[in-house]
Structures are given as structure tokens and as C-alpha cells.
Structure 1
């Protein structure tokens, strides 16, 4: 039985000190059921840091008695928590980092609800409106900072990886830290934690001020990938598409480590952006990195990209195997090129405004049996569109593996069906089988039950 703390009260610290009267009323009276539901699940994920279960439904069931009450006070609000995970406390007091993350969640959920979803400030059907909303969410979280010269490196990779792979991500993080580079990840365990842990040592050796370990997540995934304890800036975006855009707009280099369906989704997203004709000539360093033992992983990825998107897509990234220092050097050199380009083109160093992310890549994709079966996975279309559609297929697999709604759909109606050109389906089936064999789909599951069926 999981240890729990029956009752505790916490006040805001750093992330959220003031709320408007209407926002306080909205929370205290729980007039917005969706707002409360989103905050509760995100809060539980933060308090549950260190849990190795990536099944959202099981986590929510285990803590079905977890509850939050909002208490009005002169300067805003404080939280009364019931039946919280005991791992969030030491000697009866909530760990300070977890406390800060808890109020970061409240900050973002309140802002997204009041200023993004329920206001008329942003047209969330247009490219410009969505990008503007992403920027305002990041600015409200103090994540975009004018004058911050240290580059931000996005590190993508799996939450379910081997110890050897994890150690390599730490080595790369250490080399990045020695080169004054800050880290952004999806905030969870595995390849999202390793680079931050390594960078912390590198930063300490170099006495780097304002060390940044940014975790970017969204409500659907956070319960399955609770923030790791090194994250010192947690940001919640409304959905996976805005989360991915936030990564791309903030980054100065991207490093991808081995992972599963979620990592493939991220790779296809960034390739879809870089393959768009309007982005030709904009420097964007993309590095695939793996330990020597994990080299076959990127052989598989590279072959899949060649068979589906072609040689043009393969030119958009560099593969580095077994050399952590070389990965960091390439990331740093790429970031310098980005900085020079943005100075020349008068673009902001802290937010990539010039990169065109087309509207079809920004609109939220809701994985259902119908939407998954209707994906256009054929070669008679531009490569950036095919990449975007393949990204949606992997997004649906992630949902079926770890997200509450996706798990429920699979349980009630069986696996998603994925259809398309025979050549593409054969390549998709091959890479997914590889992920299953290498146990990259879910944490600690001895026999993976697929949430999908590839129709070949």
C-alpha cells in the first residue's frame, strides 16, 4: 500500500503569489470543473515525482482519494491537500522543489484557462494566433528572457531506457554544462532526466549562474511522466502540439536520444517543420546521439526516415555515436550559428519567430479509432505533410500506451487501426516491432500489449 500524507496546507512560493479575485473565486468555488480536473491531475503528477509507473489510469486509481481544497487568503490562495504521496515530503514538510512545481502548475493552468482558452485575445484557429498564445504562456512563466546569452538545448528521448543509455545522456549533459549550455526536456525520467543531472555537475564546475533545467509538459502526459527532481522551471502547455512548438521556438539546438513512440513523434514533428519549403536556409541544429551499444537504434530510425520521407529528410540531422563531447561540441557550434543568423536577420535569440510552423501541424490532434484509421499515410503528398501525418500516428500510440483517455478507448474498443501505403505500413510495422522488442514502449512491462494494429 502506498504511503500517503493525510492532510497538509501549502502557500505559494516564487511561482504564484497573486491571483485576481475572479481567479480566486473560480478556484475556491470550483465553478470550472475542467479547470479543477486539469489542475488535480497535474498536481498529483508533481507530488508523485519518482514513481516508475507510466500508466496514467493506474496512477489516478491508486490516488483516487487524493483531494485539493483552495483556501482564500489576503494575497491570493493556499492549498489544502489530502492523501498526497508521502514521497513529496521530508520530516513532515513538502520538499521545496516540489512545492515550487506545484504552484508552477497552478500558474499555468489558471493562465491558460483565463487568458488563453476563455478570452478573445488569441485566435487559436490561425498560425499567428497559436504561436502568439505559445509565446504568452512562456512569457507568463518567465521562460523567455531577453539578454540571456547561454543557449538552450532541447534533449528528447525515451522515459523507458536502459541504464547504459541513461548514463550516456548524463555524459552528454555534463559536456553541455561545461560549455555553458542550459537544458530543456520533457521533464520526466530516463533521457529527460539524464542530461539535466549531468549538466548540473558541468554547471557547478564552471560556476555557471542562472542554471536552467526547463521541463515542458502538457496535462495529458504529465501523470505518466512526472517531473524529475532536477527541473527548476516547470511549464505546462495546453496540448501536445503547443508543447512541441514551445520546444522548437525556445531551442537553439536539439539533441535526440533513443526512445520509443514518443521520441519518434518528436523526430517526425521537427522533420515536418524543417522540410517545409519556407524554412529552407534557417539554421536548426538537429543531432541524433546514442551510446555505442545503442547505435542500432538510430540505424532503425534512419532507415525508417529514408523509406518514408526520403533522402532530403536525412540531410536535416547529424548522427553521433558514442562520443558525448562531440555531441556537445556540435550542439554548441550549431547554437552559435543560430545566434549569428538571428542577429543578422534581427530575430529574437530567446524565441524563434521566423521558423514557419504550418497550421496543420499546430491544430490539436485527438486520437480516436476514427481519426487514427483516417490518417493520410500515402506518398502522393509533400514530405513535410507526410511527416506531420506520421507524427499523428505515433501520437495516437503514445495516447493508447500512457494517456488516460487513450487507455480507456483501447480498453473499450480494442487497438487503433493504422492504414496507408503498403511500403509505409511495412516500415511503420518494422520500427514499432523494434520498439517492442527493445522494451521501449512502456516502463517495466514484461509483455507489451499493443494499442495499435498496422494494416499492411
Structure 2
């Protein structure tokens, strides 16, 4: 790599030559990454800037672009491989003119995944994105291209939780991660700060104590959210899925168990997505350990989540999760025990350890949801529906609020047309409104600054 440090701003101009995992690209892939007319180059620029500012504490997706308005990235295919040119890149990603190795790996992952998506998942591409099986195959193909599907014993724990959490909650996530790491379990999160970073940080110490060298700290994100939740520095395998629905499916297909820490609307979206799938009759037999946990002070948070789930999805939903408060050791033991049952089940069903083919995910959970004002107002949030069908629409409601909070497209819609309106049965809307008000009061919506709701709940 050659680098020239500029003096006017804390930026760096650099040429980087990737090694491993991104050795070559086709001319067509490079051309698509450079294409400004389709928006692909702007997408590449925004995602690259997010990883170059890895560790940022801001959750405003436009903050990095405002700080580095002249940043640009170009990908070139040469006879000897791929070259990445960075202009006016954040100096925080470099040490003595050399890019930090971990940041470089995340940057290569951005180029790799966007190139794959541009070719394989674009309109007219080779993937069938109209059928449930076709979408699952697309998720598999992207994960395989990212080289994170390994036929090893089940040991991957997905950790969900908020990017904006209290100090006590963050410390607790580290303690849980430490206990998981002592038991040889690897971590997968949404790759950002807060509850997505804590378990990885705790596991690194435990893995070091156990002298585990081949460890996985997988971060799964998507273009709409990566700018607001830039990858934390511990992530050593980054995957960018094309949309939130494929991101959520990737979590479930990859993970052998899931732990949910306190969070906001994004965490609620994830819970509803998973429960909506596990409540389907086709998945009733499927072992899938699911634990909600936090420090003692977070007990009221989970009581309110539990109350909301009982009201909306029914008592049957509670059989699919366990709540453990203030006991990291018990959480890790429960997860390790649950994963052993997953292993036994996969062997009996002749299912792979590295990708959960047997879980049935219907098309209504896979189709991308565009949170427009019309779509949000049309959500069917009423009693009398099958639990998994109601869960699908509740998930979309929370997904729309996430978009209005931290995604550029959603923020623009709110600025132009005002808050989203969410309609439904009176008791359900009362419970939803109380839950959202609690998120606001507990500062779970935004890391800093006053939060202005992007939604209005209408009974």
C-alpha cells in the first residue's frame, strides 16, 4: 500500500491491495461497483466510509458523510488482482500511513459483498428472489461467498440487543460474552456498538484464557443500517446482506441459539421475527434456545416485553423463550445445553451444522418491506389473526420505526411527510404505545440528543 497524508484535513489518500477473500473481481463486477447511474457507487462509498470510521459512537447515518464530504473510493481490477483507491479517507483508519489491518479486512468485505449482490441478486441476476426457497438459496450463496460457512460443531451464539444501552447493561453483555467464551462458544451480532459489541469483547478475554486461536466474531449488517451502526473493532467476519429481511434470515440460518439483551425497536423487531417463525406449526419440533437476559435493573424492561408478547402473540409464545435476570453464568450454561440439543437434532435429521436448512421461513417473512407512510398505515394489527401472521406485521411496524430513526431513506420520508401512523386494536395499540414510550424514556432510541418520535400510534 502507498499512502499520502494530507495536511488540510485529518484524511489519507491510499492504495490498498487486498489479500485473501477478495483476490480478483471480474470486469463486469468492477464496472457495476463504479456505476454512478444505478446508485451502486454511492452505496459502496457510504458502506466503505462506515467501516473506515469503525468504532464511531454516532448513530446518525449522515454524520460521517458530513465529516468527510470529499471521501471517495474506486475499485480497479488489475492483472495482479484488485486495487482499492481511497481519496480523503478518515485518518482514524490509519497508523503511520498504513491502514489498520482489521479495518482493511472490513473494507474488503464491503467490496466483496456489494460486488456479489450487484451481480447475483440484481434484477435479471441468477437468483430467484420470488420464491421462499430461492430467497433462502440467495442467503446461503451470500454467506458462502463470504466464507463463513464452516462444517464444525455447532457453537455460534447470536446476540441481539440495542446500540443505545446503559453502562450497567453494557458491562453485563460483556460478562455474558465472557461466560460463553469460556465454554468455547463464538459470537455473532449485528456488528455495531452497545449490546452488539459487549458480548464479543467479553468473549475475547475468555477465548484468550482458553487459548482458542480460531475464533469467530461475526457481524451481519445491511446497507441501510451500517452507517448508523458502524462495525465495532472486534468483528473479524463482516457480512453485508442486501436488506433487513435477508439479514434476519441469515441470523437464524447461521445461529445455533440466540440471546436477547435490552434494546429498542430494532431488538423488538428481531424478537417478533424469530417468534413469528418459531410459532409456526412447521417449526414446533425445532430446538432453538432463546434466552432474554439483562442485569437486575433491566428486569422491568423484560417484564414489559413479556407482557406485550403475551397480549399480541398469546401464551404459546412464552414457551419458546426463557428470561434469566442478573446471572451470566446461568445464561451461558442454558445456551450451551440448548446447543447440545441442536447438535443432536441436526444429526438425527441429517441437517448441516453450519446452515439451518430445516427451519421453515415463509415468504411473508422474507419479502422486503418498504416502510412508506401508506404501508405503515395499512398494517393489520388486530386480534383474531394467526400468531405468526400478526408477528409478521408487528415486525414490519418496528422495522418502519427503525427506518425512521436511523436509515437515510426513512428519515427523509419523515422529514417530508411527518410521522408514520400505526393503527390497530385499542388494547394492542395501548400496549405498543407504552412500550415505545418506555424505549424513549430509557433513551433506547438514540445514543445522543433529544429523540423526536417518527411515529404516531392510533387506536
What is the TM-score when the length of structure 2 is the normalising length?
0.96
| Structure 2: distance between partners of 1:296 and 1:288 | 12
1:281-327 deviations in whole A, cap 9, x for unaligned?
11111000111111111011001111111111111100000000100
Residue 117 of structure 1 aligns to a residue whose secondary structure is coil
Do 1:150 and 1:180's aligned partners in 2 also have CA atoms closer than 8 Å? no
Give 1:188 shift: 0.3
Structure 1 runs of 4+ with >6 Å offset: none
Does residue 1:265 correspond to 2:294, yes or no? no
| Structure 2: distance between partners of 1:72 and 1:174 | 42
- Aligned mate of 2:237, from 233, 239, 263: 233
Distance 1:379 1:39, change over 3 A: same
1:352-399 deviations in whole A, cap 9, x for unaligned?
101000100000000111110001111121001101100000000000
- Within 5 A, what are the aligned runs for 1:83-102? 83-102=88-107
Partner of 1:54: 59
- Aligned mate of 1:18, from 24, 38, 52: 24
| Structure 1: distance between partners of 2:309 and 2:265 | 14
| Structure 2: distance between partners of 1:255 and 1:220 | 24
- Within 5 A, what are the aligned runs for 1:30-49? 30=35, 33-49=38-54
Partner of 1:350: 354
Does residue 1:198 correspond to 2:193, yes or no? no
- Aligned mate of 1:160, from 158, 161, 164: 164
Do 2:190 and 2:220's aligned partners in 1 also have CA atoms closer than 8 Å? yes
Residue 117 of structure 2 aligns to a residue whose secondary structure is helix
| Structure 1: distance between partners of 2:118 and 2:31 | 14
Residue 18 of structure 1 aligns to a residue whose secondary structure is coil
Does residue 1:4 correspond to 2:7, yes or no? no
- Aligned mate of 2:433, from 429, 432, 437: 429
- Within 5 A, what are the aligned runs for 1:360-439? 360-439=364-443
Structure 1: gaps (5+ residues): none
Give 1:339 shift: 0.5
Distance 1:278 1:38, change over 3 A: same
1:2-38 deviations in whole A, cap 9, x for unaligned?
953141111112231111232234345x366332122
| Structure 1: distance between partners of 2:397 and 2:368 | 13
Does residue 1:133 correspond to 2:138, yes or no? yes
Do 2:160 and 2:260's aligned partners in 1 also have CA atoms closer than 8 Å? yes
Do 2:24 and 2:77's aligned partners in 1 also have CA atoms closer than 8 Å? no
1:53-90 deviations in whole A, cap 9, x for unaligned?
11113333332221112334213321111222221111
Does residue 1:441 correspond to 2:432, yes or no? no
Residue 255 of structure 1 aligns to a residue whose secondary structure is strand
Partner of 1:171: 175
Partner of 1:122: 127
Partner of 1:455: 458
Residue 234 of structure 1 aligns to a residue whose secondary structure is strand
- Aligned mate of 1:151, from 138, 151, 155: 155
How many residues end up aligned between the 2 structures? 452
- Aligned mate of 1:301, from 296, 302, 305: 305
Distance 1:417 1:35, change over 3 A: same
Do 1:150 and 1:182's aligned partners in 2 also have CA atoms closer than 8 Å? no
| Structure 1: distance between partners of 2:132 and 2:373 | 27
Do 1:273 and 1:357's aligned partners in 2 also have CA atoms closer than 8 Å? yes
Deviates more, 1:351-360 or 1:67-76: 67-76
Partner of 1:319: 323
Partner of 1:340: 344
Do 2:22 and 2:82's aligned partners in 1 also have CA atoms closer than 8 Å? no
| Structure 2: distance between partners of 1:63 and 1:200 | 32
| Structure 2: distance between partners of 1:186 and 1:429 | 26
| Structure 1: distance between partners of 2:271 and 2:455 | 20
Structure 2: gaps (5+ residues): 1-7
Partner of 1:185: 189
1:253-274 deviations in whole A, cap 9, x for unaligned?
1000000000000000000010
